[in-house]
Amino acid sequence: MSKGRVLAAMSGGVDSSVTAALLRDAGYEVIGAMMRFWPDQKRVSTFDSCCSPDAAYEARRVADHLGLPFYLLDYRDVFEENIISPFVEEYRAGRTPNPCVLCNSKVKFDHLVKKAQMLGCDFVATGHFVQRVDNGLQPEFHRGNDPKKDQTYFLWGTPRASLEKVLFPVGHLEKPAVRELARQYGLITAEKAESQDICFIPNTIQEYLTERIPAKSGDIVDLQGNVVGEHEGTQFYTIGQKKGMKLFQSHLERFIVRIDTHKNQVIVGSKEDCTSTTLEARGVNYLVDLEQLPSTINAQVRYRTASVPAKLTNVTATSFSLDLLEPQFAVTPGQSVVLYDGSRLLGGGFIV
């Protein structure tokens, strides 16, 4: 007796491959699927990231090995509208986006969940290192057991209506255990290296942006307005950046504190100038009711930084402010601030 039909989102990597295998053995009816968003004309030599044409071939081989049907779903228009266009516009506006957040909230756990329901599936499963906990009326998302791989940071935008539709079969595992399972299943992805690149960029971010945003050089100034260098285009810089700047006095340690696209300026200062104790977030999403939000939470302002205690203020349905109880370096507009209560994901928003 099947536990239900699951659409397993397969990226061609080891985590999603093991996800499909575990679901099959747990008694689910599993359908493998990959979302296609690469263009018809691709640069073969550089398209080696997850969800690429080569990865699609490997995902199909994994599905065949496991005896699962596999479909390639055309998501090019959805991806262009929800991921690529906002990505470019954020850089144009002097902010630093994280496209993985929008991919999860707008594509995987919105469009794909709806597609799965159209196909008669009860769930969508991914290889994220996130734990789903069913404690009451609504499932909770908790940090994965492997602290080096936890991916809850990218899932704060998940629509609440989708929470009960999503499964994370590897969330309780550590990465070495996932690879060992892949070996036991005989999967061709068992030893596959992890991709650290942005999946839709076939070259470097700088080259990608150069093709889409005209570069306009301008002044690098200090906090007093003195010109201290020259930049090559505001889209090539981010808050907290130290290297890669043309400064007239290169021996001085300077960090990017702010980017002003209206004046076409990059503003620099000391490392201390680049720390913050407050922030404001908009475009927020909560995974709990507003009245359930504790006043003191843990906040994480970047994927690779630890969360810190913070106090929530000015909370509305679309925005909130935070008083960070520990100063944070390079709090960057466009990046996400994610809220936790212990290991539980509460929601988050885009830093403005």
* pLDDT score of 45: 42
pTM for the model: 0.92
* pLDDT score of 46: 42
Residue 189 tokens, joined: 């992805």
Cα angle value 62/22/76 (rounded, 5°): 50
3 state SS of 54: helix
Residue 344 tokens, joined: 């539980």
Handedness of CA 12, 13, 19, 24 (dihedral sign): positive
The torsion angle over the Cα atoms of residues 229, 235, 240 and 244, rounded to 10 degrees, is: -50
**Domains in the chain, CATH or no CATH each:** 5-185 (3.40.50.620), 216-270 (2.30.30.280), 274-351 (2.40.30.10)
* pLDDT score of 310: 98
* pLDDT score of 44: 42
Report mean pLDDT in 10-residue bins for the chain, 352 residues. Answer: 90 95 97 84 49 83 97 92 95 95 94 94 97 91 95 97 97 97 97 79 87 94 96 96 90 93 97 97 97 95 95 97 97 98 98 97
Handedness of CA 100, 15, 152, 327 (dihedral sign): negative
* pLDDT score of 250: 78
CB-count burial class (<10 Å; 0-12, 13-18, 19+) for 258 = middle
Q: How far apart are CA 307 and CA 301, in angstroms?
A: 7
Of 46, 154, 34, residue with least CA distance to 97: 154
* pLDDT score of 168: 98
* pLDDT score of 145: 94
Residue 265 tokens, joined: 């300026």
* pLDDT score of 49: 56
Which residues belong to the active site? 103, 199
3 state SS of 245: coil
3 state SS of 351: strand
Q: How far apart are CA 155 and CA 139, in angstroms?
A: 14
Q: How far apart are CA 124 and CA 6, in angstroms?
A: 6
Number of Cβ within a 10 Å radius of residue 31: 20
In sequence order, what are the residues at sequence separation of 6 or more whose Cβ sits closer than 8 angstroms to the Cβ of residue 223?
A: 257, 267, 268, 269, 273
